[in-house]
Structure 1
Amino acid sequence: MAEYQVNKGIGRSPEFKGLKSQYLFIFAGGLLALFVIFVVMYMSGIDQWVCIGFGTISASALVWGTFRLNARYGEFGLMKLQASRNRPRHIISRRSFHRLFSATSKKRSV
Protein backbone atom coordinates (compact mmCIF):
# COMPACT_ATOMS: atom_id res chain seq x y z
CA MET A 1 0.00 0.00 0.00
CA ALA A 2 1.36 3.44 -0.91
CA GLU A 3 1.40 6.24 1.63
CA TYR A 4 0.64 9.75 0.46
CA GLN A 5 1.46 12.95 2.29
CA VAL A 6 -1.66 15.05 2.35
CA ASN A 7 -1.62 18.83 2.92
CA LYS A 8 2.15 19.10 3.06
CA GLY A 9 2.03 22.82 2.22
CA ILE A 10 -0.13 23.96 5.13
CA GLY A 11 1.42 26.72 7.22
CA ARG A 12 4.02 27.61 4.61
CA SER A 13 4.09 30.88 2.73
CA PRO A 14 3.20 30.83 -0.98
CA GLU A 15 6.17 30.45 -3.32
CA PHE A 16 6.62 30.60 -7.09
CA LYS A 17 9.99 30.14 -8.80
CA GLY A 18 11.80 31.27 -5.63
CA LEU A 19 9.65 34.34 -4.99
CA LYS A 20 8.06 34.21 -1.56
CA SER A 21 4.92 35.82 -0.12
CA GLN A 22 4.98 39.62 -0.49
CA TYR A 23 7.39 39.59 -3.44
CA LEU A 24 5.02 37.30 -5.29
CA PHE A 25 2.22 39.85 -4.86
CA ILE A 26 4.52 42.73 -5.88
CA PHE A 27 5.53 40.77 -8.97
CA ALA A 28 1.96 39.86 -9.99
CA GLY A 29 0.60 43.35 -9.29
CA GLY A 30 3.46 44.97 -11.18
CA LEU A 31 2.94 42.79 -14.24
CA LEU A 32 -0.79 43.50 -14.17
CA ALA A 33 -0.14 47.25 -13.94
CA LEU A 34 2.36 47.07 -16.82
CA PHE A 35 -0.17 45.20 -18.95
CA VAL A 36 -2.81 47.87 -18.29
CA ILE A 37 -0.31 50.63 -19.17
CA PHE A 38 0.64 48.75 -22.34
CA VAL A 39 -3.02 48.44 -23.39
CA VAL A 40 -3.71 52.12 -22.68
CA MET A 41 -0.65 53.16 -24.68
CA TYR A 42 -1.63 50.94 -27.61
CA MET A 43 -5.26 52.11 -27.59
CA SER A 44 -4.19 55.75 -27.52
CA GLY A 45 -2.42 55.32 -30.86
CA ILE A 46 1.24 55.06 -29.89
CA ASP A 47 3.30 52.99 -32.33
CA GLN A 48 3.15 49.28 -31.50
CA TRP A 49 6.95 48.88 -31.46
CA VAL A 50 7.25 51.66 -28.90
CA CYS A 51 4.62 49.91 -26.78
CA ILE A 52 6.36 46.53 -27.13
CA GLY A 53 9.74 48.07 -26.31
CA PHE A 54 8.35 49.84 -23.26
CA GLY A 55 6.59 46.69 -22.08
CA THR A 56 9.67 44.50 -22.55
CA ILE A 57 12.08 46.87 -20.82
CA SER A 58 9.78 47.70 -17.91
CA ALA A 59 8.76 44.04 -17.38
CA SER A 60 12.43 43.02 -17.39
CA ALA A 61 13.22 45.73 -14.84
CA LEU A 62 10.30 44.59 -12.69
CA VAL A 63 11.41 40.94 -12.78
CA TRP A 64 15.02 41.85 -12.01
CA GLY A 65 14.05 44.23 -9.19
CA THR A 66 11.63 41.80 -7.57
CA PHE A 67 14.10 38.92 -7.57
CA ARG A 68 16.82 41.24 -6.26
CA LEU A 69 14.61 42.36 -3.37
CA ASN A 70 13.73 38.74 -2.64
CA ALA A 71 17.40 37.75 -2.51
CA ARG A 72 18.45 40.80 -0.50
CA TYR A 73 15.78 41.00 2.19
CA GLY A 74 14.36 37.49 2.37
CA GLU A 75 10.82 36.44 3.15
CA PHE A 76 9.98 38.97 5.87
CA GLY A 77 12.71 41.54 5.19
CA LEU A 78 10.57 44.24 3.61
CA MET A 79 8.17 44.19 6.55
CA LYS A 80 11.11 44.45 8.96
CA LEU A 81 12.58 47.32 6.94
CA GLN A 82 9.27 49.17 6.95
CA ALA A 83 8.82 48.58 10.68
CA SER A 84 12.30 49.92 11.43
CA ARG A 85 11.51 53.08 9.49
CA ASN A 86 8.29 53.66 11.43
CA ARG A 87 9.74 53.31 14.92
CA PRO A 88 10.66 56.47 16.81
CA ARG A 89 14.35 57.34 16.67
CA HIS A 90 14.38 59.16 20.02
CA ILE A 91 12.16 58.98 23.05
CA ILE A 92 11.23 62.49 24.06
CA SER A 93 10.71 63.19 27.71
CA ARG A 94 9.85 66.65 28.98
CA ARG A 95 10.80 65.91 32.58
CA SER A 96 13.96 67.29 34.04
CA PHE A 97 16.91 64.95 34.36
CA HIS A 98 16.70 64.92 38.17
CA ARG A 99 13.02 63.93 38.18
CA LEU A 100 13.62 60.98 35.85
CA PHE A 101 15.63 59.10 38.48
CA SER A 102 14.14 60.29 41.75
CA ALA A 103 11.29 58.53 43.50
CA THR A 104 8.10 60.55 43.39
CA SER A 105 5.19 60.13 45.69
CA LYS A 106 1.72 60.65 44.39
CA LYS A 107 -0.62 62.74 46.46
CA ARG A 108 -3.92 61.08 47.02
CA SER A 109 -6.97 63.27 47.14
CA VAL A 110 -9.98 62.05 49.06
Structure 2
Amino acid sequence: MAEYPINKGVGRQVEFKGLRAQYLFLFAGGLLAVFILVVVLYMGGVDQVACLVAGVGLGGALVALTFRLNRKYGAYGLMKLLAARRHPRRIVSRKSVARILNQH
Protein backbone atom coordinates (compact mmCIF):
# COMPACT_ATOMS: atom_id res chain seq x y z
CA MET A 1 0.00 0.00 0.00
CA ALA A 2 1.34 3.43 -0.95
CA GLU A 3 1.99 6.06 1.70
CA TYR A 4 1.32 9.70 0.96
CA PRO A 5 2.77 12.57 2.99
CA ILE A 6 0.37 14.89 4.76
CA ASN A 7 0.03 18.28 3.10
CA LYS A 8 1.04 20.70 5.85
CA GLY A 9 0.10 23.77 3.77
CA VAL A 10 -3.66 23.23 3.73
CA GLY A 11 -5.51 26.27 5.02
CA ARG A 12 -2.46 28.53 5.03
CA GLN A 13 -2.32 31.76 3.08
CA VAL A 14 -0.42 32.04 -0.19
CA GLU A 15 3.06 33.54 0.19
CA PHE A 16 5.83 34.28 -2.31
CA LYS A 17 9.05 36.15 -1.47
CA GLY A 18 7.39 37.72 1.58
CA LEU A 19 4.26 38.92 -0.23
CA ARG A 20 1.17 37.48 1.38
CA ALA A 21 -2.48 37.06 0.45
CA GLN A 22 -4.00 39.84 -1.68
CA TYR A 23 -0.69 41.68 -2.17
CA LEU A 24 0.61 38.84 -4.32
CA PHE A 25 -2.34 39.20 -6.69
CA LEU A 26 -2.06 43.00 -6.62
CA PHE A 27 1.62 42.68 -7.51
CA ALA A 28 1.02 40.23 -10.37
CA GLY A 29 -1.83 42.31 -11.82
CA GLY A 30 0.25 45.47 -11.56
CA LEU A 31 3.20 43.89 -13.37
CA LEU A 32 0.85 42.68 -16.11
CA ALA A 33 -0.57 46.21 -16.45
CA VAL A 34 2.94 47.72 -16.66
CA PHE A 35 3.91 45.19 -19.34
CA ILE A 36 0.79 45.95 -21.40
CA LEU A 37 1.44 49.69 -21.06
CA VAL A 38 5.02 49.28 -22.30
CA VAL A 39 3.85 47.20 -25.27
CA VAL A 40 1.17 49.77 -26.17
CA LEU A 41 3.68 52.61 -25.93
CA TYR A 42 6.17 50.74 -28.12
CA MET A 43 3.52 49.85 -30.70
CA GLY A 44 2.38 53.49 -30.64
CA GLY A 45 5.78 54.63 -31.85
CA VAL A 46 7.32 55.90 -28.62
CA ASP A 47 11.12 55.66 -28.46
CA GLN A 48 12.41 52.29 -27.26
CA VAL A 49 14.56 53.81 -24.50
CA ALA A 50 11.58 55.82 -23.21
CA CYS A 51 9.47 52.65 -23.11
CA LEU A 52 12.14 50.80 -21.15
CA VAL A 53 12.61 53.68 -18.72
CA ALA A 54 8.85 53.90 -18.19
CA GLY A 55 8.58 50.14 -17.68
CA VAL A 56 11.47 49.94 -15.22
CA GLY A 57 10.32 53.04 -13.36
CA LEU A 58 6.69 51.95 -13.03
CA GLY A 59 7.74 48.39 -12.19
CA GLY A 60 10.09 49.60 -9.46
CA ALA A 61 7.41 51.88 -8.03
CA LEU A 62 4.95 48.98 -8.05
CA VAL A 63 7.41 46.72 -6.22
CA ALA A 64 8.11 49.39 -3.59
CA LEU A 65 4.42 50.21 -3.07
CA THR A 66 3.34 46.58 -2.84
CA PHE A 67 6.01 45.62 -0.31
CA ARG A 68 5.31 48.79 1.72
CA LEU A 69 1.58 47.98 1.88
CA ASN A 70 2.40 44.38 2.80
CA ARG A 71 4.67 45.51 5.64
CA LYS A 72 2.29 48.23 6.88
CA TYR A 73 -1.07 46.44 6.82
CA GLY A 74 -0.16 42.74 7.06
CA ALA A 75 -1.95 39.84 5.43
CA TYR A 76 -5.54 41.02 5.81
CA GLY A 77 -5.14 44.59 7.01
CA LEU A 78 -5.71 46.20 3.62
CA MET A 79 -9.04 44.40 3.22
CA LYS A 80 -10.03 45.46 6.73
CA LEU A 81 -9.12 49.07 5.93
CA LEU A 82 -11.22 49.03 2.75
CA ALA A 83 -14.14 47.34 4.57
CA ALA A 84 -14.07 49.93 7.37
CA ARG A 85 -14.76 52.69 4.85
CA ARG A 86 -18.00 50.99 3.80
CA HIS A 87 -19.47 50.67 7.31
CA PRO A 88 -21.71 53.44 8.60
CA ARG A 89 -20.47 55.40 11.62
CA ARG A 90 -23.75 54.93 13.48
CA ILE A 91 -27.05 53.11 13.05
CA VAL A 92 -30.14 55.29 13.25
CA SER A 93 -33.53 53.87 14.14
CA ARG A 94 -36.49 56.16 13.48
CA LYS A 95 -39.02 53.89 15.21
CA SER A 96 -40.38 54.91 18.59
CA VAL A 97 -39.20 53.00 21.66
CA ALA A 98 -42.73 51.72 22.37
CA ARG A 99 -43.03 50.29 18.85
CA ILE A 100 -39.65 48.56 19.12
CA LEU A 101 -40.55 46.99 22.50
CA ASN A 102 -43.98 45.73 21.29
CA GLN A 103 -42.54 43.67 18.43
CA HIS A 104 -42.22 39.94 19.13
Q: Which bracket does the TM-score occupy, shorter chain normalised?
A: 0.7 to 0.9
Q: What is the CA deviation profile of residues 46-79 of structure 1, one whole-angstrom value per residue up to 9, with x for unaligned ones? A: 0011101111110000000000000000001011
* 1:24 matched residue in structure 2: 24
Matched, 1:46 2:59: no
Q: Which has the larger radius of gyration?
A: 1
Q: CA deviation at 1:11?
A: 1.1
Q: CA deviation at 1:6?
A: 3.5
Q: When the two structures are superposed, what TM-score results if normalisation uses the length of structure 1?
A: 0.81
Q: When the two structures are superposed, what TM-score results if normalisation uses the length of structure 2?
A: 0.86
Matches of 2:98 and 2:50, distance apart in 1: 68
The verdict on how the C-alpha distance between 1:40 and 1:101 changes in structure 2, with shifts beyond 3 A counting, is same
Q: How many residues align?
A: 100
Q: In the TM superposition, what are the counterparts of 1:1-110 in structure 2 within 5 Å?
A: 6-95=6-95, 99-100=96-97, 104-105=101-102
Gaps of 5+ in 1: none
Gaps of 5+ in 2: none
Which consecutive segments of 4 or more residues in structure 1 shift more than 2 A? 99-106
Larger RCO (CA within 8 A; separation ≥ 6): 2
> Which structure shows the bigger proportion of residues in helix conformation?
2
- Percent identity over the alignment is 54
Aligned-partner residue type, residue 94 of structure 1: R
Aligned-partner residue type, residue 91 of structure 1: I
What is the RMSD computed on CA atoms of the aligned residues? 2.1
Matches of 1:68 and 1:40, distance apart in 2: 28
